Amino acid sequence: MLDKRALQDQVWVSYGDSITDGGYWQAAVAEHFALNHIDQGIGGTTLAGFGPLAFWQEGRLSEIVAAQPALVTIMGGTNDFYSDFYLGTEEQFDLPLADKTMDNFLGAYSYIVEYLQAALPDTTIVLMTTPLNATYFSDQPLNGRGNSIMDFADATAQVARHYGLLLVDMRELYQNAADFDQDFWDGIHPNLQGAAKISQALIESLSQIAK
């Protein structure tokens, strides 16, 4: 269990893509818990795949380790959805790091978690489900592999369950297109109102374990 007082002045790394890179939902969380926030979001990046800035790449993960954070949050999957990456299977969880398959979401995600757990055994890792996007409320919610953005959110929850990590679940924030449209300015990136909901969801989840 996190000690809320012990979090004060500690480092928090938020890890992700452009939804993290904007930095506009993290400020309220950092202020609430008196954390020193480091934004490690890079727009356009994916968890899976072999791009030089994919989440699992050593160059990015080593920056997290170097920061020696007390808390790491991970939120991604939007670009994996649009890139038509495979979701993968639970078999990836049982493979050693060297044998995981990085062309699929579960393989890359399990690699990231296991890498960070080994390098930062005292760090709390929190997963945040892939945010919904406008495709979910459209007539064509599936990508080229037949997966919806919800499938990537479900896979994130699957990773959290397997490793016993806290999950910030945003799948139920939006029940209809009208509510979603009010909070997202382009169907992918939240506006200030949407960012506030992400902040609040993370604050509430962390508050459950930070006493």
* Residues 123-163 pLDDT 10s: 999 999 999 999 999 999 999 999 999 999 999 999 999 99
* Residues 28-71 pLDDT 10s: 999 999 999 999 999 999 999 999 999 999 999 999 999 999 99
**175 pLDDT band (50/70/90 cuts)?**
confident
* Residues 71-118 pLDDT 10s: 999 999 999 999 999 999 999 999 999 999 999 999 999 999 999 999
Distance CA 61, CA 203 (A): 24
pLDDT value, residue 4: 67
CA–centroid distance for 56 within its chain: 13
pLDDT value, residue 210: 74
pLDDT value, residue 211: 65
| Longest CA pairwise span in the chain (Å) | 48
pTM of the model: 0.96
Distance CA 126, CA 113 (A): 10
Please say if the pLDDT value at position 6 is more than 80.
no
C-alpha dihedral (147, 152, 153, 156), degrees to nearest 10: 150
**208 pLDDT band (50/70/90 cuts)?**
confident
Nearest to 22 by CA among 185, 208, 178, 141: 185
CB 146 within 8 A of CB 86: no
